[in-house]
Structure 1
């Protein structure tokens, strides 16, 4: 009888395992691998109960197929006021600012997305390659004149995407530091609600004044183009803010963190140097391997069955892109950086209706910037021990705060 009870309890525990909290501690000594607990949780159960800091009982999705299915399912909402924060008890989340497509569902989202899709086509972004190459060469020239060591983030990784997105939107490049500062506050997970609200307000006020200026005197840029649409001033300012924040921060971190990863994997760096045609694959593999935008979240609008589990209406699901992109059920030897891998299906740019709008621009920037850096400085190396590189471990966009590099003159 005792054995039967024990067996029943074990079966019950397997069917209803203890809720978990979101693992955030990364491997010591490895700045690229996700927290080890994520792999363990994914292996046990790719969708499981999660206890949120405010007491909410929601879910954690770690498997590639589960995360992808949720991102593609319209029964899950992106509206942040319906969600619970996975890392801190900060009370009820406010609705996304007007014009912030990332916090909208269809049909509101569809209206904005349709207006912008034509501005970010593959063809249009590829037409910008020459400008990206020019900006890249100018910053490599400046690095060469200055001589090492330099902080690659400040000298190279940040200014290239910043110049591109400022030019595209028609934002004066001189204002980039203002945006960088407030955007950093928004992406810092430890920033308090008042601090984040102040940053958001400052950005919205600036963009609103910029929209009024574009309406009065249109120039050849994206914001001016959109003044002919049916978007209100407030909506236009919101759209501009989202595009600017994404363009300033995410690609900059991919260039810097991607450089760090390549310098830490000399065999892969040698492969990229030896075969320029690998650049496209390298970008996709780095997006998969690094997964810097993490975690994502959705809220169930109705009861939904996924992977044999019923997610109830109103429950928040935290989506671990890091775990999904390292899922061995999708990618062979997923913890290895392999530039020869065809990383098709990675979720580094998201999936579904909210898949990154600027992904083609980001691809062009990385495809140009990474090979050009190593071509110009074949002996590029870290100027500090790897463990001394400061990581953005408290931010929702992961990467490095600084990347000190040096090189030997030929």
Structure 2
């Protein structure tokens, strides 16, 4: 079994996994991590679910080897401390304690109540696009503001302050920045949210953050960590999916027509876009607590395992003809939202935003098309979340 030298990120085709992932066979591969330690890359669907389900694999960052050099911590900071409340990087029982407080806020019932307001937000952005006229950058006019407005409203962040956290978040996840620059951006974001938590404590409103403050179960530091996680996760991934997904649909006009004209296609289209694009292209990452047999190999205790979602979501054992993009495909088992106890808390919110936004955009602007050749659309291959840096369009 040939050893893989670090995790490949560069995509030769903006919509396809890195070519090296197509050249390797089998569901589990030895990989040399960026700090020289040996570990594993999971590319099989069943194996990925097994890892994400198995409590013998830790989700904390402690002891993890970096799959790309940009994630290598500065010297002396090998074991970075997880901020209080940042439960995405915690194992049980700490993880379940935080998640229990939040699950009800992201239930299907709560999402149904939010749907009319989300549709209003989408329609408002489309109105602004129409008023401003063509051409436009769909990222700044559509993909970024919609999830930002939604998560601002949910958490109680004043919308006028969204530019602050958008910029800080973008800098924190951009691998073109040094790790010190990314750390400074993360600290700036947490500082802003710490101040916001203080405001909510003094003057609570009718929002999720105010409810968590009033509940009294979390400290100020925990509330800041929870708010940081929800705010970044609540807009960064959805914004990149709206941008990159629209780019793909504009390059596949027959598929875009189905989304525009058939109301029954929106749900399956979202799942297929998640599967086909797999914008979470670094991880999930786990560390084995014990020796674990997997796919005929033994993952040793202490070794790091990285799951490649672009490869997993193209596994032929789960998705027939996986290289074909088909918005009518039933791809509901794609792993873009994860699996197991760490499955994305806000997945139903993200699904709802995309299910409403793609058809609304294509119906409002039926002549929507790229304003530059598709090869000139700038990509973000070295960000933690893959996507387009800008999407120039006209209509």
Q: TM-score, normalised by structure 1?
A: 0.92
Counterpart residue number, 1:26 = 11
Deviation at residue 39 of structure 1 after TM alignment: 2.1
Which residue is 2:97 aligned to? 111
- 2:53 aligned partner: 72
State the alpha-carbon separation in 1 of the partners of residues 42 and 179 from structure 2.
26
In the TM superposition, what are the counterparts of 1:300-315 in structure 2 within 5 Å? 300-315=288-303
Matching residue of 2:173: 187
CA distance in 2, matches of 1:327, 1:108: 33
Shift of 1:273: 2.2
- Structure 1 residue runs of 4+, over 4 Å off? none
Alignment partners' CA distance in 1, 2:375 and 2:389: 13
Question: Which secondary structure does the structure 2 equivalent of 1:330 belong to?
Answer: coil
**Contact 1:79–1:95, Cα closer than 8 Å, also in 2:** no
SS of 1:85's partner is: coil
How many angstroms apart in 2 are the aligned matches of 1:69 and 1:189?
30
Q: State the Cα deviation string for residues 178-210 of structure 1 (Å, max 9, x = none).
A: 111111122112432211221121111111111
RMSD: 1.2
- Per the alignment, in what secondary structure is the counterpart of residue 58 of structure 1? strand
Superposed CA deviations along residues 243-302 of structure 1, whole A, max 9, x for unmatched, are 100112111111111110101111111222231110011111101111101221100011
C-alpha displacement of 1:93: 4.5
Counterpart for residue 251 of structure 1: 238
Report which stretch shifted further, 138-147 or 103-112: 138-147
Gaps of 5+ in 1: 1-15
Deviates more, 1:338-347 or 1:196-205: 196-205
* Runs of 5+ unmatched residues, structure 2: none
1:367 & 1:21 partners in 2: Cα distance?
Answer: 35
Q: Residue in 2 aligned with 1:328?
A: 316
Correspondence 1:376-395 to 2 at 5 A: 376-395=364-383
Tell me, yes or no, if the aligned pair for 1:95 and 1:103 is still in contact at 8 Å. no
1:233 aligns with 2:220: yes
Deviations 1:16-52 (A, max 9, x none): 533543222312xx211011111222xx221111101
Larger mean Cα displacement after TM superposition, 208-217 or 61-70:
208-217
* Corresponding residue number in structure 1 for 2:21: 38
1:298 equivalenced with 2:281 (yes/no): no
Partners of 1:247 and 1:236 in 2: CA distance: 16
Distance in 1 (CA, whole Å) between partners of 2:119 and 2:99 is: 28
- Deviation of 1:176 after TM superposition, in Å, equals 1.2
Q: Does 1:288 align with 2:269?
A: no
Q: Is 1:197 equivalent to 2:160 in the alignment?
A: no
What TM-score, normalized by structure 2, do the two folds share? 0.96
Residues 345-370 of structure 1, C-alpha deviations (whole Å, 9 max, x = no match): 10011111111111111111101110
How far does residue 326 in structure 1 lie from its aligned partner after superposition?
0.7
Identify the match of residue 242 of structure 1 among 215, 221, 229. 229
Q: Which protein shows a greater Rg? A: 1
The residue that corresponds to 2:121 in the other structure is 135
2:88 maps to what in 1?
102
Report if the CA contact (8 A) 2:8-2:20 is conserved: yes
CA contact (8 A) 1:255 1:370 kept: yes
Q: Tell me the alpha carbon deviations over residues 325-379 of structure 1, each in whole angstroms, 9 at most, x when there is no partner.
A: 0111110111111011000210011111111111111111101110000111111
